[in-house]
Amino acid sequence: MANEDKQNKIIGMFDDIASTYDTANRVLSFGIDKQWRKKGCDKAYEMLGKSKISQIIDVACGTGDLLLYWKDRAAKKGIIVDKYIGIDPSVGMLDVAKHKVEFADFIEGQANDIPFGDESSDIVSISYGIRNVVDRRKGLSEFYRVLKPGGIIVILEFTKQEKSGIVSKIVDIYMKNILPAIGGLVSKNYAAYKYLPDSIEEFLTTKMLEDELMDTGFKVKYTKSFSLGISTLIVAQKPLA
């Protein structure tokens, strides 16, 4: 399948599950994904070290969940953020986001063609979306381009298991059998949630994703796995010079 066709198929799938996406996420992660998102925001703000930020772009923003945490964590830390931007190729997801996140601007667009100038943003984030970017290296290059020197990229993703053993087997059973069944029940779209473990299996290990970030020019500053390695947080920085 050509890259463009594959990307369009993924976008259509997310359009189909947009209305139930948040509910399914909470059920499937037992609500723990909230802590993962908070950790990513806190780490980025800590590393950036600014009390005033001009712009945060959340790529593949979906229904806008992470933007809520960017704003909430900024308020708790006394950080002023001038502008929050959400970008996603799924019109269905953006329709939900616009009703849920009133303080942000939303743009229909893709990770490999971000409609902002060079060095225009302090932070770029992408949560559970990087594995859906077909031309991932071009996407990472776009993140690098739009970030200011010293800017931060935050990636939350389900990465491929690197280890074998009882824990990995438990995770594997959950991801390949339980998750598609529950996600399909909530969303009425089994195929979409069968895609999730399949896409993870086809995706990178954490080390491979770190290597791609470094190849792009980023310096990886923080990596943390959550919940038996199901979710991984990577925070990287664009060098100052």
CATH classification at residue 50 = 3.40.50.150
Asked whether residue 36 is assigned to any structural domain, the reply reads: yes
| Cα distances (Å, whole numbers) of residue 126 to 15, 140, 163, 164, 168 | 18, 10, 25, 28, 25
- Tell whether 166 is covered by a domain: no
Q: Give the chain's radius of gyration (CA, Å).
A: 17
Rounded Cα distance, 57 and 53, in Å: 11
Give per-residue pLDDT as tens, 96-146. 999 999 999 999 999 999 999 999 999 999 988 888 888 899 999 999 999
Q: Which of 87-101, 105-119, 156-170 shows the lowest per-residue confidence on average (mean pLDDT)?
A: 156-170
Residue 74 lies in a domain: yes
**What single string gives the DSSP state of each residue in 24-60?**
HHHHHHTTTHHHHHHHHHHHHHHHH--SEEEEEEEET
In a domain, 165, yes or no: no
Burial 150-160, CB ≥16 within 10 A → b, else e: bbbbbbbbbbb
pLDDT for the residue 132? 83
CA 50 – CA 86 distance, rounded (Å): 21
Residue 183 lies in a domain: no
Distances (CA, A) of 2 to 12, 90, 129, 148: 16, 19, 19, 33
In a domain, 195, yes or no: no
| pLDDT at residue 129, as a whole number | 84
Is 27 a domain residue?
yes
Higher pLDDT, 100 or 166: 100
Mean pLDDT of 186-201: 63
Q: Range with the lowest mean pLDDT among 32-46, 47-61, 172-186, 221-235?
A: 172-186
Q: Domain range for residue 146?
A: 3-160+204-237
Confidence of residue 47 (pLDDT cuts 50, 70, 90): very high
User: Regarding predicted confidence, which is higher, 8 or 89?
Assistant: 89
Distance CA 70, CA 86 (A): 11
Q: Is the pTM of this model over 0.85?
A: no
pLDDT at 202: 67
Q: In the predicted model, what is the mean pLDDT of residues 46-59?
A: 97
Q: What is the mean pLDDT of the segment spanning 34-48?
A: 94
Q: 148 in a domain, yes or no?
A: yes
Residue 212 has pLDDT above 70, yes or no: yes
When pLDDT is averaged across residues 38-61 and rounded to a whole number, the result is: 96
Is residue 195 predicted with pLDDT exceeding 60? no
Number of domains in the chain: 1
